[in-house]
Chain A
């Protein structure tokens, strides 16, 4: 059974992105083990000269290291990923490399109709940067619009068409995780490059 880390891309107390991940955790429990991770306790990234990263960031990095893949659910603020998620990704690439060649599935929920389309695009760009080098599942997008109305009182997704799409994408992600294990010929080179990458010269 695959083990995934699911990052809640917000620090808001009330979040339909958290709800979406909680639903997936429950709904796909027979397929995979999904562990939810909160990023709200990370301090603001300030590029410390001593290269010390906070213990909270190291703990998340360790969880990612031990996982087969990462699911990130992002809200959209100002046509982009929220600062708090960008902040987490800054810490998680500051002289540590938990995302290097790690399979990532991007999803997002929004109150409005657009379902975080721009934030997901932004997040792809970030995860593709040389500091992170994640393996983002290509040509897949799960946009949950009107998310306040998307779940019933038990936290189950109401729209069955949406659910079928999510279930399909989740199966694909599991396949992508296995496939990624074969995309291993440049792994060592990638790791070397990312180890050589120094924020002091970035």
Chain B
């Protein structure tokens, strides 16, 4: 679970920051808690909107990607600090990243009241409609007499305090799960996947016809794309566009990039369509995915994309027969994500794994034999990964229904080596 911690103080020395640091390190096994810095956030002013500024955007991004928030508040003048209030005002003015977020309030103070009034006040503020956070009820953690509460190593000295804090935090972790479950948007379902790519993502090139045969050239012109000897900085390295092409085109597999808008925007073009395991033509690049699949396959394609987009699975595997007895062609659909975990599309890898299997057998002096316990039933998609690993060779599978590459994903045909398959009906892989 990922939490962010905000200490409601911009003073150089803050016991509330110390308390949060202690929680983050002491309970590191139970939750990943990142402390957020509010020092650079300007005082809220509705006439000088800084919502798009770095300091506010940083908080927005971190909060949006966190499962919950812990706020440690001091008490000044019977209330929370202006610096914390100012942060909340920015986060409730034009943007509302705290809406629906589970929040736990803690507080430390020099005297015995331990920020009791500030905590109540913070609760009221967080529940106002512009903020709309979900504050955990009860479980008030007030740390009074804070100057004597920590030892030299900045650990809380009193064991009962630590134990109460642990109980509170554990309750909060459950609270976070419950609240986030409650807030989960209704899944529109796989039917809502738009293979015509009517939507757009931030990388979508607008104003160029996706169906055009020269989409790549037109979109490159429009975006002033790097090419040839232009350098591209990568994680981790630096290549020219030419070098990147040499590299991708020498991969012993066919790679396809479909973005989060279900637009087919790239494949490594080192073979003619007729020689490919999953045929693609240069004119197809840029097409909405609907253009690249036969109509009957569309529902299955949607189901696979939806599973990857929603994280139900990170990789979907599909054996695609029909390329002859000496080949065992696999299609791997791997979800791609950015650093924040947002879905960025699908990396489709297509390769014939038989050369690898044969190489292995040859070099380890083994051979494929019939598994007397072989199950001939289809194995459901969900278990495909482990099953595939456990049962690499199942030579005697009797029949495979006319699977196209886009066969029923929930009943993935798990029938690896099938040397004597006679014929597979028409199914083109992905064309």
Contact = CB atoms under 8 A, between A and B. Distances in A.
Interface string B75-93: 0111111110110110010
A120 interface: no
Interface string A104-138: 00000000000000100010011011011000000
A104 B127 CA distance: 28
Contacts of B130: 77-78
Contact of A47 (B11, B45, B86): B11
A96 B373 CA distance: 86
Given A46-B11, A49-B12, A201-B110, A126 B78 contact: yes
B89 A77 contact: yes
Interface in A1-52: 10-14, 40, 43-49
B77 A45 contact: no
Interface centre among B82, B86, B88, B89 (most CB of A within 10 A): B82
Nearest to A13: B47
Given A201-B111, A202-B110, A87 B124 contact: no
A80 interface: yes
Nearest to B44: A83
Contacts of A201: 110-111, 147
Nearest to B80: A86
A11 B78 contact: no
B263 interface: no
A78 B88 CA distance: 8
A78 B99 CA distance: 13
Contact of A84 (B10, B12, B44): B44
B95 to A, nearest CB: 14
Given A79-B124, A82-B85, A126 B79 contact: yes
B239 interface: no
B42 interface: yes
Name B's interface SS. loop
Given A79-B128, A80-B121, A132 B79 contact: no
Contacts of B77: 86, 89-90, 93, 126, 129, 131-132
A90 B79 CA distance: 10
B82 A87 contact: yes
Q: Which of A12, A47, A78, A200 has the most CB of B within 10 A?
A: A78
A79 B44 contact: no
Dominant SS among interface residues on chain A: loop
Interface in B62-83: 76-83
Contacts of B81: 45, 86, 90
Interface string B7-39: 001111100000000000000000000000000
Contacts of B46: 10, 12
Nearest to B126: A78
B43 interface: yes
Interface string B329-353: 0000000000000000000000000
A80 B43 contact: no
A93 B117 CA distance: 18
B125 interface: yes
A84 B127 contact: no
B85 A125 contact: no
Interface string A60-88: 00000000000000000111101110110
B109 interface: yes
Nearest to B91: A78
A200 B80 CA distance: 17
A199 to B, nearest CB: 8
A125 to B, nearest CB: 5
Interface string B201-236: 000000000000000000000000000000000000
A79 B121 CA distance: 9
Contact of B83 (A44, A122, A128): A44
Interface in A133-159: none
Interface of B: 9-13, 42-47, 76-83, 85-86, 88-89, 92, 109-111, 117, 121, 124-125, 127-128, 130-131, 147
20 contacts: A11-B47, A12-B45, A44-B42, A44-B82, A45-B76, A46-B10, A77-B85, A78-B130, A80-B85, A80-B128, A82-B85, A83-B86, A87-B83, A89-B77, A90-B81, A122-B79, A132-B77, A201-B110, A201-B111, A201-B147
